[in-house]
Amino acid sequence: MSDLDTLAADARSRIAGAADLTALEGLRVEFLGKQGSISGLLKTLGALPPEQRQIEGPRIHGLREEVTAALADRKQALESAALDARLASETIDITLPAAELPRGAIHPVSQVMDELAEIFADLGFAVATGPEIEDDWHNFTALNLPEHHPARAMHDTFYFPDQMAGPDGGKMLLRTHTSPVQVRTMLSQGAPLRIISPGRVYRSDSDATHTPMFHQIEGLVIDRDIHLGHLKWTLETFLKAFFERDDIVLRLRPSYFPFTEPSVEVDVGWEDVGGRRVLGGDGDAPGHGWMELLGSGMVNAQVLEFCNLDPNEWQGFAFGVGVDRLAMLKYGIDDLRAFFDGDLRWLRHYGFSAFDVPTLSAGVGARP
Ligand code: PHE
């Protein structure tokens, strides 16, 4: 056996027996590194006479290629063995109980807003939103409440300081109702129109049934030949769907709002069930009564004109109702202030599952 054959046999067996990647790298340096044995042999080629170089050259180069390939094979074998070992040792114990993830709850106000949006969407209403920081014109003037109008006193308004005047030089304020959204929508979309505007509103007021911030949903329909009958039907349909009772009875009382003419206050009949007022039934029946629930009316011609609509061509109705109030009535919650305390125990008790999405087909009411 020539020296070369001995070297080849030695390399083959040692590479095949390399125990790990470190040992293999040691062998690579030993054979092919700058000072390596095969590299050493290659250097001797230059000094050989041409005939001998022609024989030795291919043999040494062949050996180098064989060793290079053997090193690569062994490397791959070692790597896949290492991976197999890891896969075998790093198993996941799927029988361990999973850590429980904290689950949030939907706030009753959000739940009721979703229920209302679902009901009104079915009646063809779109949802319109607008800014909570309003200017005096959109919140009051365009709704037929000029400056110094006594009805402005009905809204205990939070005004911003005079230095923060609005675009037209008027005062800025926290909107006292979502009616300015109706003004904005009439101006931007014109007629006909069917919208609800849910959102936060602000009034300087605070006790068990009033908080400085609360939620409203207002509705507006503008079309040709709209009359009070449409208003009554719409309110009845919405309240029956919302309270999930067919025996909701309404009583319309003449009232006053600057933005509607005529204006009607809407009462709903209730029944005393074990000391609790449950909506439903004729309020005039024995053991029954009427509860004031919302304000509404036919949109005042002045408001239409402010919103660039010709009152001889277009009529409409509007209504406004407190979302928090609806939530309290439907889900039997007594203290409004607790809605905004952020107490997790309260929310866990009164909150709703995020999976219980209100739909008309499954029932808009959340399941208990
Ligand atoms: N914007 C009125 C309020 O907040 C509610 C309302 C809306 C009344 C539409 C009548 C018509 O007091």
- Banded model confidence at residue 322, pLDDT cuts 50, 70, 90: very high
**Looking at beta carbons, which pairs linking 30-36 to residues 24 or more positions away fall under 8 Å?**
31/67, 32/64, 32/67, 32/68, 32/71
Is the C-beta atom of 218 inside 6 A of ligand 1?
A: yes
Exposed, middle or buried: residue 70 (CB in 10 Å: 0-12, 13-18, 19+)? Answer: buried
CA of 297 to the centre of ligand 1 (A): 9
Write out pLDDT tens, residues 137-167: 999 999 999 888 877 777 789 999 988 887 7
CA of 231 to the centre of ligand 1 (A): 14
**What does the pLDDT read at residue 1?**
53
Q: What is the number of other CB atoms lying within 10 angstroms of the CB of residue 30?
A: 14
The preferred substitution site among 181, 183, 257, 324 for testing ligand 1, maximizing ligand atoms within 8 Å of CB, is: 257
Is 314's pLDDT higher than 90?
yes
Write out pLDDT tens, residues 262-279: 999 999 999 999 888 899
Atom of ligand 1 nearest to the CA of 178: 1
The residue-averaged pLDDT of 253-265 equals 96
The preferred substitution site among 149, 176, 218 for testing ligand 1, maximizing ligand atoms within 8 Å of CB, is: 218
Is the C-beta atom of 136 inside 6 A of ligand 1?
A: no
| Cβ–Cβ under 8 Å, residues 245 and 280 | yes
The residue-averaged pLDDT of 29-50 equals 88
For helices 3-17 and 37-44, what crossing angle results, to 10°?
160
**What does the pLDDT read at residue 367?**
59
The one-letter amino acid code at 106 reads I
CA 359/CA 309 separation, integer angstroms: 35
CA of 276 to the centre of ligand 1 (A): 27
Cis check: omega of the bond before 192, within 30 degrees of 0: yes
- Banded model confidence at residue 112, pLDDT cuts 50, 70, 90: very high
Is the C-beta atom of 283 inside 6 A of ligand 1?
A: no
| Cβ–Cβ under 8 Å, residues 190 and 122 | no
Is the C-beta atom of 295 inside 6 A of ligand 1?
A: yes
**pTM of the predicted structure, to 2 decimals:** 0.72
Torsion, Cα of 193, 195, 201, 203 (10° steps):
50
